[in-house]
Amino acid sequence: MKPHPLPKTVAPLPDELLSGWLFRLAAANYCDDAELLAHIEIDTAHGTALDFNIDAAAAEKIANVARVDPNVVRSLTFPAMSPREALLTAQMPFQHCLQCSREGLSFRHWRRVWAFDCQVCGSRLVQTLGKTGDEQISEKLIYRARRGAGMLEYAARSRGPKQLRRAMRAVTFAMSLKGCHGKPLFALQSHRPEVSLFCLAAIAAARSHPLAKAAIVSSAIDDFARFALLRAFEKEHRLLAAVDHIAQRRAKSKGPMTAESRN
Ligand SMILES: [Zn+2]
């Protein structure tokens, strides 16, 4: 027997995510999404499991109870993506817009690791599991991180792999400076805004200054910075050699320069 259509339906919004729409559909019918999915006889407790992959039968079942076309249901999931785009699209919600979330909304663009501001209301997206956004983060860091995010989007959508490789190298370098381990993509989704914003800002910094040079100019090359460089450039022997060369030259010239400045 087919499940009965729900008493109330809700119209999906542009870019709305299937799980978000299911949440609103459930709320309009005075239940939660787990109860709604059980009613439709879909074997999953959370709508997020359907965001990337929904089969025709499940789309049909949802469309039937919500009284919409199955194509509408399918259009709320992620479309086919390039491998690079897929890599930079989070499987689980990691950031959201406080204002839109309060209204039970959830959008697809929030899942992109390069998304920085809510495209619907313009608020800055904040970590889903982080604090409520009242922590002290400098405007300068936010400004730089927003620029880095834009560059990451460009890298994700550009044809060649070069831009993205450069961006990820900057993130790896930033992670080393922050003492983070793991994959660069997870650092960008970190629930600690000081980490994710710093990593995004590093992408912008690496663009305006060659990364190795920036590292040397900004700090004397000590063991910690050297380790960070090694991690970021481990596969780029020529770059590492160049870094060493600059560092040696700098060490040599440091003595006389310091002496001069005292005069
Ligand atoms: Zn918003």
Distance, CA 51 to ligand 1 centroid (Å)? 19
CA dist., res. 175 & res. 183, Å (int): 9
Distance, CA 40 to ligand 1 centroid (Å)? 30
Question: Does the residue 50 lie in any domain?
Answer: yes
Distance, CA 26 to ligand 1 centroid (Å)? 21
* Residue 243 CB burial class (10 angstroms; 0-12, 13-18, ≥19): buried
Distance, CA 256 to ligand 1 centroid (Å)? 56
Distance, CA 115 to ligand 1 centroid (Å)? 12
CA dist., res. 150 & res. 261, Å (int): 41
Distance, CA 107 to ligand 1 centroid (Å)? 9
Distance, CA 96 to ligand 1 centroid (Å)? 8
Residues 6+ apart with CB under 8 A from 220: 250
Question: Does the residue 216 lie in any domain?
Answer: no
Question: Does the residue 61 lie in any domain?
Answer: yes
Distance, CA 15 to ligand 1 centroid (Å)? 12
CA dist., res. 88 & res. 152, Å (int): 9
Contact (CB, 8 A) for 213 and 246: yes
Question: Does the residue 101 lie in any domain?
Answer: no
Domain count, the chain: 1
The pLDDT tens digits of the residues spanning 97-112 come to: 999 999 999 999 999 9
The pLDDT tens digits of the residues spanning 182-212 come to: 889 999 999 888 899 989 998 888 776 665 5
| C-beta neighbour count of 200 within 10 angstroms | 30
CA dist., res. 237 & res. 240, Å (int): 5
- State yes or no: pLDDT of 262 exceeds 60: no
Question: Does the residue 37 lie in any domain?
Answer: yes
Whole-model pTM?
0.79
Question: Does the residue 131 lie in any domain?
Answer: no
- pLDDT score of 188: 94
Range of weakest confidence among 25-34, 71-80, 165-174, 229-238: 229-238
Question: Does the residue 159 lie in any domain?
Answer: no
Domain holding 46, by residue range, is 18-79
Contact (CB, 8 A) for 105 and 120: yes
- pLDDT score of 47: 82
Question: Does the residue 224 lie in any domain?
Answer: no
